Amino acid sequence: MSRSDAIRNQAARALLAVGEGRSLDRALSDEVDAAHAQSGFARALVYTALRHAWSNAAILRRLRSEPGRAPPPRINAILTIGLTELRFLATPTHAAVNESVEAARREAATSAGFVNALLRRFLRERVSLEAAINGDREARLEHPAWLIDRLAADWPSEFAHLCQAGNKPAPMWLRVDARRSSRSDYAQRLAAAGIESRPPVTPDFALCLREAVSVDQLPGFESGEVSVQDAAAQRVVDALDAQPGQRVLDACAAPGGKTAAIAERTAKLQCVTIERDSVRAQRLRQSLARCRVDAAVLIEDATEVQRWWDGVPFDRILIDAPCSGTGVIRRHPDIKHLRRPADIAVHVRDQARLLDALWPLLAPGGRLTYATCSILRDENDLQIAGFCRRTPNARLLPLALSFPPGMDLTDVDAAMAVALWQNPSGARDEDGFFYASLQRSH
């Protein structure tokens, strides 16, 4: 096996692993040799194949002479990888076909001719095949039907754009540690290293890179002078509005980016972080140590308050709630494949439990900020509305955050919460996020 077709076999196995229920990160770790010279190419193949799985599947169904009879899973995965390469990557056509054929031959010698025939037929009929699948809503929007329906119900004017934005690679955002550098100074260091960046109007310490780079190339990354964090996630600093010396709880803290962002901007905080998973808690500790943030790390279920709370109220509480992740699909395309409709109700129930359990820990006059990386209303403004109905001493606070232009948000009160995403004008290219802040009156 040549090194190039070996990497396509690895990519196909990773693609299959996601189809069987493994996360994308786990599938890549298990199936792709990180030491291989083309491991980055394999990752690009898998990410792109997952983003465009529905249109690829629709085309493959049309290419097969017996549409109801699919090839064995590994051969189908190799076909999908090959089709992805032909449709979306810059590999020369003959190389993409030949290497896919060799990858198929490695799996089953009798399949090589079949793969060759289908990929060459695609090249001959590409224009008509691409046109034919436009009538298939899943293929056109590259999302499962149930999720398209949910987005259409929540955002009737914007759902098609939201799907399309979720199918694009995300930019690489950085957060500069405000304690150690200004944004402009760090941008100059990047430029000296040959890395081009641009500053948004807000957040104040964010930079967006023109092209993604390895963190090893970022000046001062290992010493915590800069971190990788989407601009939407960095807005937690303004949403929480922590003040120097306050006691702050981050109730779902791993991997630690939001805790670090808050601590970097606010002096002398007393930070308590909670993470129920021990492996994620270890990553949380490592992240906080790299960023030079002093915080207590508790491995607990945040809702089991009696197990971990010392009885001292918190001035600020952040609930970065477990959610569907529908606002970060562009970074995690496996979400489209792994989420199920029933998962949303489970998240909504767990989010409500967190809100109800942690609210009594907030000091009178204190602020609780609820955040998700979801763009589904059940997890966002409807969740907060339900909490306010059952919590008389909770008052929604205005947020110093702006909506992206060009969005119809008449059903959401801009004074209470904000949903961010890549907007059609391109003026903002952030993940889909929701924030709401509530003050305890007594």
Mind telling me the catalytic residues? Answer: 373
Nearest-10 Cα torsion for 343, 435, 232, 375: 40
Tell me how far CA of residue 265 lies from CA of 159, 179, 245, 258, in angstroms.
35, 7, 12, 11
Q: Which residues pair with 396 in a beta bridge?
A: 438
* Angle formed at CA 143 by CA 200 and CA 347, multiple of 5 degrees: 80
How far is CA 22 from each of CA 14, 333, 335, rounded to the nearest angstrom?
9, 12, 11
Distance CA 300, CA 142 (A): 38
Question: How far is Cα 176 from Cα 197, in angstroms, rounded to an integer?
Answer: 12
Write down the residue that tokens 């089991």 correspond to: 304
In whole angstroms, how far apart are CA 137 and each of 16, 58, 143, 219, 376? 24, 11, 9, 45, 20
Tell me how far apart the alpha carbons of residues 369 and 384 are, in angstroms, rounded to a whole number.
11
- Give the Cβ contact number of residue 416 at 10 Å: 18
Provide the total of helices (H) and of strands (E) in the chain, helices listed first: 19, 12
Distance from C-alpha of 253 to C-alpha of 262, rounded to nearest angstrom: 12
Cα–Cα distance, 84 to 57 (Å, whole number):
10
Token digits for 44?
């690009």
Tallying the residues shown for the chain, one arrives at 442
Rounded to whole angstroms, the Cα distance separating 92 from 7 reads: 16
* CA separation, residue 362 to residues 21, 33, 66, 324, 393 (Å): 38, 47, 63, 26, 11
- In the structure encoding, which two tokens stand for residue 123, read together? 């090249």
